[in-house]
Structures are given as structure tokens and as C-alpha cells.
Amino acid sequence: MAEEKIPVLETKSLGIQFGGLKAVNDVNIEIYKGELIGLIGPNGAGKTTIFNLITGIYTPTTGSYILCGKRMNGLKTHQVVEAGIARTFQNIRLFKKMTVLENVKVAFNKNMKANLMQSIFRTPYFWKEEEETTEKAMELLKLFKLDGFADQFAENLPYGKQRLLEIARALATDMKLLLLDEPAAGMNPVETAELKESIKMLREKFGIPILLIEHDMSLVMSICERIYVLNFGEILASGTPDEIAGNKEVIEAYLGKEDEDEGGDV
Amino acid sequence: MTKLIQSLMYGLNLGSIYALTALGYTMVYGIIRMINFAHGDFIMVGGFTLFYTIPVMKNLGMPLWLAVIAAIIVCVGVGVLTEQIAYKPVRGQGSTTALITALGMSLVLENGALVIFGSAPRNVSPMFSLPTIEIMGASIPGQTLLTLVIGFIVMAILSLFIKYTKLGKAMRAVPEDKVASTLVGINVNKIITITFAIGSGLAAVASMMYTTSYVSIKNELGITLGLKAFVAAVLGGIGSIPGAMIGGLLLGIVEILVKVYMLPGTYEAVTYLILIVVLLVRPTGLLGKAVSEKV
Amino acid sequence: MPKIIRKKLLINIIAVVMMFLLLCILFDTELLGRKAAYFNGLVTIGMFYTIIVCSLNLLTGYMGEFSLGHAGFMSIGAYASAIGTTLISNRTELPDIVLYIIAIIIGGMAAAIVGVLVGIPALRLSGDYLCIVTVAVAEIVRVILSNVGIEEITGNATFGKSFAGIARVSDYHYVFITMIICIAVMYSYIRSRYGRALISIREDRIAAAASGINVTKTKVLTFTISAAFAGVAGAIYAHYITTLVPTYFNFSKSSEFLAIVILGGSGSMTGSIIAAPILSALPQLISYVFPDFASYRMLIYAVVLVVVMIFKPTGLFGGKEFSLSDLILKPKSKKTQVLSQKVNQE
């Protein structure tokens, strides 16, 4: 891997405490350009909490995280997005009563320049920008074969398509790093296969690094280059899928208990 | 000094009215996360019940405090009906719908009273005729002291009830976790109705205290009284029963002190300013607990 | 501007001009005789209600937050503009239209300034808490207005707590044009990237932030705009009624505005535009015939409000918009539209 360059994302002993509980403790993760990294671990291990830390929803109590050499601690969520980290959510968070197209257009907002007066007085620039944004959004939707649903409310999409729309929306923010939180959760095998294709397509087309939380082991093992295993808020192991699959501790902590994990986090 | 003691007594009196009312807000909010805007109007209902029943009791030669029982019965009736007819059907339809329904019920009671009783203020005839009492040189009307004592006794009984009875424990359990409460065999719907009944009953006691001290009532009585009692509930920490009592007493004392010593005209503005400051600095109030959203 | 939108705009402009002409024919000719002044007043009331109800809908329907203090912002606009115009007319003689424009600008600006000052701290809160803060703000404003010395500021005599002798410049011609501009501005705001951001916050605050939307900024901006239009409505009211009393702008007034928004349909501008004039003017019209009706008015609204909440919580229009131009340009029924969409997909 490209060890010679600075990482896209680097966390340095990142941690957060809720009351007396160390939900995440001393987590060091590095992601380099073009990598697809898996983040796995039993339920409640703190995976989503790490995402929430990296995206400014929670403020870390210890450590820091750095995007392309820039320290990100203390930024608000929208500033994190502006800096270049986009994410999806474990329990899908779409703008339900907005159309599929609008869902994506919202994410283009930060790059749009028509100011309040131009928007209210409907200047030619306003119309031009609106049309361009619609075009860009439609292109993104096409990539995920969602363009046929553009005018439907997001809540009316089938489950698997909703997950894809969330990814499309994240992509629209024009990011440097993509965080996917259990994109395959609740999907049937056909949808999972479709998702896998989409993720592959993303990497080929955009070359962006992805950090992926996933419970579907076969998916993680088949597409990730490296994997971090989290347990009780700490990194238990990291390495290639083969190394992880052969790691005794991991098998004990995680794979051995896989049956219990089927309950799903709420 | 005399003035201060007098102000403090009046403050305590007003404070217990707020406290009794705030209890109704806080208990309901604790269980169903809804600001029951109609709660202030329950006091107005109690006030009008007293207005009509006190003369009746007088004519029949019956003890006048029976009018309070009548007020309690009417208020509980109105409270439970409000819950059953309007709030129960919209439960689970989101906080927006609940808020609007509560506001709607408040308007129904207010304007219903306007249609029935008209807009002119009425004077409730005094229930007790007690001599004025001198405390350290300050003269306090006897009935103010009496209602103050009644208010405190009611709050004490409520605290004991909540703390030690099975029903009281259930009432504390439901706000913590509705699903778990159901699992341990608590009938959540029943608890909600009982909460409304108790809250409305307390409002009736508050209306007794109010009319004894302030005499005049009208259909809009519930709005400001209700809003201020809600401020008291927020100040104490919404959802917290001891918080409502402390918040109410504190607000009453502060309001009277501000009125007497600082801003006689605009003292009410201070009350609302307190609310805004509390919400911005410590939204959980003095004794409330923080609730965070799961991401 | 896309062609279809240009067409729609044209249709809307024609409709607005036709309405304006209709009003002119009704009130500027002898058609209504002596009753003209009365109906004229009703129309003016209906128009400033439309402005304030739409401005409140901006918060309720599109931002998803409740303000139960809009009467407060309205009163700020009313008092500020009335003080302004009274001071001006004490010194110089200005044509009505100029005085009216000055009133509107002062009213809107004053309410907007208070809106920003309140919004920046208060919009960290949401839901019930924000709602109750707006109540508190309006009550504070009302208490202060009840105690402020209008006489000392303007030099004109006052009667008790009322502020009388305000120039009567809210002519319905001006008010109509103001209303159209206000609606157009709010509509454009919603149908721009700002409005999109706003609605996304209503739908999911966290997802909106994670899509790069500055939640606080968008909310404060919208709150300010909403307050500004409430102030404009207040300015119109002050210069129509000519006597202000602080108790008019109480909690019940704010609740009435909110009730109209909800009944018309939260999140539907057309709902507000239809509901506001009907629910404000119609009862007065009925009480013209049955004098007792006035006291029943709010009771009926309240009962309807509760019933609507129980059976159709989305209100009359339920977030949908009615469009005259769509009706003219696309006379096909809904069913055929859906069908044609399906065909296009395949």
C-alpha cells in the first residue's frame, strides 16, 4: 500500500467517555488513498461511535483525528462534510418527504453559490446553477440506477434502493473519504450483490477511500483490503482479511459469537 | 423587614399555586412528552366551579369546603375527558400533533368558557372568613395562610403517594421506560389516565388557592397562570416531581420580590426571562435529566 | 429561466392582475354602495392575515418548528412602524404611499432584528422547548409594550395603554401588492437551495448536517425571514386599525395564527393563502349577519382543530400545493400522469 504518502484519515488515540464508560478508547486507524477498509466488531463495540466521532456528532474526549494533514477536532458536522468526510447511517436517514432527486441536490448545496437575493429574485445565474445541479444529481442517480425514481418520495423507494440513495447523497458532497455504516444491513442476497457491485464501481470510478462498517462477513472479507477489529471500544486486531480470519483472538471475541449478533443493533 | 416577610408569605402562596399547577404539567410531560396546554385552563374550570358552588353550599347551609370537593370532581372529570377524547387518539402520532391537539384543547376550554360565562370577570365569594394574622409585624390574611398550609399538605401527600404506593411507583416507572413498564405488568394507558386525574385534581386545589387570594376569575385565567406554572416546571426540570414543587415555590417568591422591590410594572417579563435563560443555560432545569438522541 | 416556468409565471401574473382588477371594480366603483368601506376592511384584514400566516407556515411547515409567539413579532412591527410614521408625520407631510412604504420597511426590519437576536440563542433548542421560548419572548414583548411610554416617544396623547392616532395609510391597493410580493418572496425562498436545505433539516437534522447543511445558520435565517414578514403584517395592521393595544398581541392571537396554519395545511403555502383570508374575514362576515357569532368563532376553530388533529393531522391541504398554472397547462387527470410516468420508466 501507499505507505509513503500521508494518510487520508488518521486517528490518534481517539476516544470518548460517556459517564464512566469508555465507549471508544485509544483507537488508531489509518486510511490511505484508494483503500477500502473494513471496521468490524460485535454489537456495542463502538463502531458507529467512531463514525460519530469522526463526523463531529460527538466530540472526542481524548485524541484527535486528522484528514489529509488537517486536524479536525471540534468541527461541527457540516464543517466536517465541507472538509471532505461523508457518511451513511446504520438506520437509514433519508429526507423521506423529499424526492429522490432533491435528496441528492441537498448534498450539492455546499458547492452552490447563488446567494439569497439571487435565489429570491430568480436571476439567470440562479436558474443556470439549478439546472446544472439537477444534471449532476441525475448523473449520480444514474450510477446507482436510481434515475427512474427521481421524482418519487424517498420513503417510497424499496429498502435496498434507499441504502443506495444514501450512498449517492453522500457522494454528492464531493468528499475525500466515505464512511459507510452497515450498508448491507437488512438487505436480501440480491440487494447485497447489487451493493457489492456499486461499491466496486465507486472505487473504480472515483478512487475514493472507504471506511466500511459491516456485519456481513462474506462481503467484508471479499472486498476489503485491510480490516480493523474493534472490541469493547478498543482495536483488537488489524490486518488483511486472511490475517483477520486466522486471528485467534478475533475468532474468540467476534466470530465465535456471531450467532448472538444476529439480533441486530437498534 | 415587615415588607420582606409579607412579600415572602405572598411569594410562598403564589409559589404553591404555581407548584401545584406545575406538578400537573411535569407529570404529564414525564409520561407522554406533551405540553398539556389545557392544564392551565383546568384551573379556570375549577375557579368557575367554585364560583357557582360556593353560593349553593351557602344556601343549603352546608360546609363551604365541600365546594372544593365539587371543584376537584369537575376538574378531574374535565381532565380525564380531555385525555380520553382528544389526547388518546393522537398518541403515537408524533410530538407535533400532540402539541397542536393540546393547544386546541386549551382553546376549546377557554372559548367554551367564553361562550358559557362571557368575558366579564367574576368575583368568587370567599370560602373562609379568617382574621388577619400578624407575623413578626407583617399582617397576612388568614385565608392566605390557610390555603398555603393546604397546598403544602397536598404536596406532601402527593410526594408520599408517589414514593411509597404501588400506583405511585408505577407512575414513576412509566416515564423511565414505557415498554419495560408494560412488560412488568403495568397498564400504561391506565397510568396515563390516573396521571391526568391527579394533575387535574391538583389544579382544582390550585384554583381554590387562587380564588381565595385573588378573587377575580375570567375565561382567560388559565393562559398566564398556565404559562407561568409551565415556566416553574421547566425551572425545576421538566418531568421531575420535586423539581416542579421547588421550581414553583422559587418562581412565586422571585416574582413577588421582583414585583415589590424592582419592577412593579414589568415583573412578568422577568419570569419569562428566567425561562429563556434556564432553557439556554441548563435546559434540563434544576433537577431534570438529560435525554440524548440516538444516532 | 426554463420555458415551462416562464409560462407558469405568466399565468400567475395574469391571475393576480385579474384579482386586483376585481377588487378595484368592487371597491373603487359605486358597486357596493355604502357597504364598500366595511368589505374593504375585511379584505385588508384577510390580506395581512395571509402574510403572517404564510410567514408562520415557513417555520411550521418547512422548518418543522412551532412558534407560538408570532403575535409578538407582529406587535414589534406594528409598534416600531407606528412610532416611525408618527414621528415622521409630526415633522413633515408625506404622501400616503411613501409613509406606507416607510412603515412596511421599519416594521419588517424591527421584527427581523429581534428575530435574529432571539433566533441565534433560541434555535439551539427545538420542538416543545423552542415553542415555549417563542411564547416567552412574545409575552416579554407584550409586557414591555404595556409599560412603555408611547406618549413620551411620539409626543402625541395616548389613552391609557393604547397607542392612537396612527396614520391610516394601509390602503388595500398597497396592501394587495405587498401581500403578493411577500408571498412571492417566501415561495421563491422555499423553492431555492435555501428552502431545500430547510426542508432537509425538518426531515432529518442529523442527516442534513451530514450532507453539509449548516443547520443553525439555515434555521436562524428562516426564523429571521419569518419574523420580518410578521413585522410587515404588523405594520399593515397598525396603519389600518390606527389604534394599537398591547393585549391584542397576546398568546391567544399567536394560537389563532398557528391554528390557521394547521387548518390550512402545514407545509402548504396555498393552504395558508386560502385558509387565512377565509378564517379571518369569514367569521366577521357571518357576525355581520348573526352578531352572536363572534364569540363562537374561536370555539369552532378550536373544536375543528382538535377534530382535524385526530382524523387528518396534515390539515386541509396536507403539505400539497394547488397550482393554477398546472391546472391550465396540464389538464390531464392525476391518474394519467402517474401512468405516463410509469410508461416513461419502462
Residue-wise pLDDT tens digits, C13-53: 998 999 899 888 888 777 777 777 888 888 999 999 999 99
- CB–CB contact C221 A116 (8 Å): yes
How much is the average pLDDT of C279-304? 82
Mean pLDDT of A105-128: 92
Residue in B closest to A93 by C-alpha:
B295
Residue numbers of B between 83 and 112 with CB closer than 8 Å to C: 86, 89-90, 93-97, 99-101, 103-108, 110-112
Furthest-apart CA atoms within chain C: distance in Å: 75
Q: What is the pLDDT of residue A29?
A: 93
Q: Sorting pLDDT into bands at 50, 70 and 90, what band is C318?
A: low
What pLDDT does A258 receive? 46
pLDDT of residue B240: 84
Residue C324 or A201, more confident: A201
Residue of C nearest to A93 (CA): C207
Say whether pLDDT at A3 is over 60.
Answer: no
Closest partner residue to B272 (CB to CB) among C127, C140, C146 is: C140
- pLDDT of C331 reads 52
Chain A residues lying within 8 Å of C209, measured CB to CB? 57, 76-78, 81
- Whether residue A130 has pLDDT greater than 90: yes
What pLDDT score does C345 carry?
42
Residues of B in contact with A57 (CB under 8 A): 295
Q: What H or E segment, with its residue span, contains residue A13?
A: strand A9-18
Is the four-CA dihedral A77, A81, A84, A87 of positive or negative sign? positive
Minimal CA separation from B91 to chain A, in Å: 22
Q: Among residues B125, B146, B141, which one has the least CA distance to residue B53?
A: B125
Tell me: the pLDDT tens digits for B237-257?
888 888 999 999 999 999 999
Contact A187, A195 (CB under 8 A): yes
Please check whether residue B230 touches C, CB under 8 A: yes
Q: Could you tell me the residue ranges of all domains in chain B?
A: 13-120+138-219
- What pLDDT does A264 receive? 42
B90: closest CA of chain C, how far (Å): 6
Specify the CATH class of C3-320 in words: mainly alpha
Q: Which chains touch A (3 or more CB pairs under 8 A)?
A: B, C
pLDDT(A257) > 60: no
B142 inside 8 A of chain C by CB: no
CATH numbers and ranges of domains, chain A: 1-84+176-266 (3.40.50.300), 99-174 (no CATH)
- Which pLDDT value is given to residue C341? 45
Question: What's chain A's average pLDDT?
Answer: 88
Give every residue of chain B whose pLDDT is below 50, as ranges.
none
Residue type, C219: K
Does A57 touch chain B if contact means CB atoms closer than 8 Å? yes
CA distance B37 to A175: 46
At residue C113, the pLDDT reads 97
User: CA C266, CA B76: separation in Å to the nearest integer?
Assistant: 33
Q: What is the CA radius of gyration of chain A?
A: 19
Q: Which parts of chain C fold into alpha helices (H)? A: 3-28, 36-57, 70-91, 96-122, 127-147, 150-154, 172-190, 193-203, 205-210, 215-241, 251-264, 269-289, 293-311, 324-329, 334-345
pTM of the prediction?
A: 0.90
Mean pLDDT of all residues in A165-183 = 93
Task: Enumerate neighbours of B (3 or more CB pairs within 8 A).
Answer: A, C
Task: Tell me which chain C residues have a C-beta less than 8 angstroms from the C-beta of B82.
Answer: none
Residue C62's pLDDT band (boundaries 50, 70, 90)? Answer: very high
Residue C337 pLDDT more than 50?
no
CA distance A73 to chain B (A): 19
A47-71 confidence digits (pLDDT tens)? 999 999 999 999 999 999 999 988 9
Angle at C294 between CA C293 and CA C295, to 5 degrees: 95
Maximum CA pair distance of chain B?
64
**Contact status of C61 with chain B (Cβ, < 8 Å):** no
Give the model's pLDDT for residue C314: 74
Cβ contact, residue pair C125, B279, below 8 Å: yes
> What is the rounded end-to-end Cα distance, in angstroms, of chain C?
30
- The whole-number pLDDT of residue A262 equals 45
How far apart are the C-alpha atoms of B130 and B191, rounded to whole Å? Answer: 39
What's the pLDDT score for residue B280? 86
Cell (9 digits) for C89: 408625520
Domain range summary for chain C, segments of one domain joined by +: 3-320
Residue C250 at interface with chain B, using a CB cutoff of 8 Å: yes
Residue pairs spanning A and C at CB distance below 8 A: 100
Q: What is the ipTM of this complex?
A: 0.89
Phi/psi-derived region of residue A224, left when phi > 0, alpha when psi is between -120 and 50, beta in every other case: beta
Query: B139-143, C144-148, C243-247: which has the minimum mean pLDDT?
Result: B139-143
Query: What does the pLDDT read at residue B92?
Result: 80
* Percent residues over pLDDT 70 in chain A: 94
pLDDT recorded at residue C165: 85
- Among partner residues B89, B105, B230, which is closest to C132 by beta-carbon distance? B230
Report chain B residues whose CB lies below 8 A from the CB of C127.
95
pLDDT digits (tens, 9 = 90+) for C166-212: 889 888 899 999 999 999 999 999 999 999 999 999 999 999 999 99
